[in-house]
Structure 1
Amino acid sequence: MAEARPGRIRLGPPDLLGDRTVVPVVAGRHHLVLVRDAGRIVAAERACPHEGADLSLGHCAGGRLRCPRHLASFDLHDGSVSPGWSFRALRLFPVEVEAGGLWLTLDGSLA
């Protein structure tokens, strides 16, 4: 059974996403999306860095999260935006899947 440790927040049960690929969550005071892609789960900031569109309304395919407003997409390994767009990368945060739940690991940009 996993235990809470400093720098980690329990997001919910391991099956929190159910059959969905993109789910909005709140971790502390931070609004994020959980994204499942190819058997892994990653957390990302919920607001698109371009104009703040709600990425929980986007969709994921081929390792990319697509913004529902402008159709820019973000690489789920490094957050980089698709070619043709000139704004910062999407912030991503590691998620650990354990028997006791999904855990978000905080870093300096989210803490």
Structure 2
Amino acid sequence: MAGLIKVAHSEQIKENKPFALTLEDQKIVLIRHQGRLLAFKDSCPHQGAPLSHGFVRDGQITCIYHGWKFNLDDGSFSTNEKLKLKSYAVREENGEVFLELP
């Protein structure tokens, strides 16, 4: 991945605990699920609520405001797979977390 930007230390991202950050005016949520790191736009497509305020359970992140659920495997909405969260390439190396913005 070219253009990697260090965004966090590995120990900051806890299993199934959303971690919010802002990078170049973009709000992003990092999630460690089953040991792997994921990065999505920190905004529910329903009404823009921050997904980082939600919770992770059963392989999904749930928006705390209206209960919308998104699959962590691909960011798809639980009841309409065509609706997906914007995702970002993320990498973890030597205790650091790096993100690549498009």
Q: Normalization by structure 1: what TM-score?
A: 0.80
| Larger strand fraction of residues | 2
**Match in the other structure for 2:10:** 14
Identity among equivalent positions (%) equals 30
CA distance in 2 between partners of 1:71 and 1:105 (Å)? 29
* Number of matched pairs: 102
User: Separation in 1 of the partners of 2:14 and 2:32?
Assistant: 10
Which of these residues, 86, 90, 93, is aligned with residue 88 of structure 2? 93
The match for 2:40 among 12, 23, 44 is 44
Name the CA distance, whole Å, in 2 between partners of 1:49 and 1:11: 24
SS in 2 for 1:88: strand
Q: CA deviation at 1:19?
A: 6.2
Write the distance in 2 (CA, Å) between the matches of 1:89 and 1:19.
Answer: 22
Cα distance in 1 for residues equivalent to 2:70 and 2:11: 24
Equivalent pair of 1:49/1:87 in contact (CA under 8 Å): no
Q: Following superposition, which runs of at least 4 residues in structure 1 exceed 3 angstroms of deviation?
A: none
2:61 matches 1:65: yes
Residues 86 and 98 of structure 1, relative CA distance in 2, 3 Å threshold = closer
- Structure 2 gap ranges (5+): none
For residue 29 of structure 2, the aligned residue among 29, 33, 51 is 33
> RMSD over aligned Cα, in angstroms?
2.1
Measured in 2, the distance between the counterparts of 1:10 and 1:28 equals 12
Q: How does 1:71-82 map to 2 (within 5 A)?
A: 71-82=67-78
Between stretches 12-21 and 93-102, larger displacement belongs to 12-21
Amino acid at match of 2:40: A
Structure 1 residues without counterparts, runs of 5 or longer: none
